[in-house]
Amino acid sequence: MTKLLRRIAFFILVLVHFSFLLAIFFERINTPLIIGFLLFISALITHAYFNAPRDEEAHFIEDLYVILYVVTGALSTYYLSVEFKLGPVIAAGLIGTIASFIPEFNKRNEFLRELPASIYCGAFVGMTAPAVAEDFRFIIFAAFMTGAFLILSKNIFNGFGGKLGTIAFGGVAFTSLLLYLFF
């Protein structure tokens, strides 16, 4: 079941990103070379995804903590950005810096192991513009979706820069798509 969920999450993430990129390129340049390039990159990413080593052992409690950390990072970043008018970059940087020090207080706690990366991923969700995220409910749902994508992408794309931001973008874009389609 976990393999099936990982594949579904992967294809949703790729489709969201691919559709976003296609929209940008069709708006600017309409050329078969760009489409061919996108298909080539998608094939490479798919190959890397299915050949990456994975830890298939599921840890339900750890996964719940990951989602909680992502939601916490997203809400705190959005709150600092919008309510205190710090701006999204300063707010995300502040939340990410604070999160990086939390595991140092209790090095034996295994649940704090995932905290810095998860909160920082949530901070990317919290950077969403108020024009896109009208209220905190959007941020909570987008952070929940991002947390689910983060859990399903464990041990995938390790060593590639931008993994957390890409996952956060996928969660926000998927949430926006759902709201557009159903509300």
**What phi and psi, each to the nearest 5 degrees, are found at residue 19?**
-65, -35
User: Do 9 and 37 fall into the same domain?
Assistant: yes
Supply the pTM of this predicted model. 0.77
Which of 159, 155, 152, 121 has its CA nearest to residue 14? Answer: 152
Same domain, 65 and 39: no
Cα–Cα distances (Å) from 34 to 38, 41, 42, 162, 179, in that order, read 6, 11, 12, 22, 29
168 and 107 within one domain: yes
In this structure, the answer to whether residues 81 and 134 fall within a common structural domain is: yes
Of 130, 143, 147, 133, nearest to 179 (Cα)?
Answer: 133
Based on the fold, state whether residues 28 and 117 are members of the same structural domain. no
The helix/strand/coil state of 1 is: coil
Q: Is residue 26's pLDDT more than 70?
A: no
Boundary of a domain, candidates 31, 51, 71? 51
Check whether residue 16 and residue 43 sit in a common domain: yes
Q: Give the domain extent around 24.
A: 2-51
Residues 84 and 149 in one domain: yes
Q: Please count the structural domains in the chain.
A: 2
pLDDT tens-digit series, residues 48-90: 666 766 555 557 788 889 999 999 999 999 999 999 999 999 9
